[in-house]
Amino acid sequence: MKAAPADQKRLLDLAEIDSTIDRLTHRRRTLPELAEIDDLAARVARLATQVIAAETEAGDLAREQTKAESDVDAVRVRVDRDQKRLDSGQVSSPKDLANLQSEIVSLTRRQGDLEEVVLEIMERREAADAQVVKLAAERDELAAARDAAADRRDAAFAEIDKELAEVRTKRSAVAGELPADLLGLYEKLREQFGIGAAMLQGGRCLGCRTSLSIADVNRIKAAPHDEVIRCEECRRILVRTPESGL
């Protein structure tokens, strides 16, 4: 392939623009905020599940407490009723009186036991409620951190995308100046190797960092200036400049 030396040199500008595009694209893909957001989102999801479990437990305890309180009330009603009968003086038989008194004693003991149960449930419920508040606060804090990271990501994206748009405009201009066949070869090589053209500097290909043999250097020296040279190692277009050491 033949191409004017100036066009060949222009390929180096294109390669530099392309490596800027690659660098920006890589930065966009590997922003630390992306991993941070994923990590925070997973932790928020885990905490949300824990909050629901804690709320369920607190709800169960609230229902348990209501039931235990109604058990206490039922016994209290019976104690009151028995006490009224006792106070009314309507029960006269000594045996019935003894039975009534013994029932009041046992019901009062039962009421005390049930009140203990209520207290124990209240304590557990208090702890469960506190756990809900603690977990929900942790969840909200992490969600806020996640949102802040998302804001930072969006700001970084906007900055990178602005730079990418500028550099792509520059690329179109440079690519537009190049002959179609030379550009076509460059694009094909870029697709294959990431970089399509490299400078020959001091007898070395800057694409693959290989030093050329004396025979290759001599061959390139003898080649016409408009001959498009390829690196024998990496197959990239090798661009000759005054720094090439020929």
Contact stretch for Zn ion (CB under 5 A) within 39-47, 73-81, 110-118, 199-207: 199-207
CA 129 to chain centre: 29
Q: How far apart are CA 81 and CA 169, in angstroms?
A: 94
Tokens describing residue 176: 């537009």
Asked if residues 153 and 34 have their Cβ atoms less than 8 Å apart, the reply is: yes
Tell me how many residues contact Zn ion (CB under 5 A).
Answer: 6
Q: Does 208 bind Zn ion (CB under 5 A)?
A: yes
Contact stretch for Zn ion (CB under 5 A) within 3-11, 128-136, 140-148, 226-234: 226-234
Q: Does 205 bind Zn ion (CB under 5 A)?
A: yes
Q: Does 196 bind Zn ion (CB under 5 A)?
A: no
**Residue in 175, 233, 241, 246 binding Zn ion, rule: CB under 5 A:** 233
Which CB atom, from 157 or from 193, has the smaller least distance to Zn ion? 193
Q: List b or e across 145-180, with b for residues whose CB sees 16 or more CB atoms inside 10 angstroms.
A: bbeebbeebeebeeebeebbeebeeebeebbeebee
Phi–psi pair at 223, nearest 5 degrees = -75, 150
Which CB atom, from 121 or from 231, has the smaller least distance to Zn ion? 231
Contact stretch for Zn ion (CB under 5 A) within 71-79, 95-103, 111-119, 224-232: 224-232
Q: Kindly list the residues in this chain that would bind Zn ion in the complex (CB under 5 A).
A: 205, 207-208, 231, 233-234
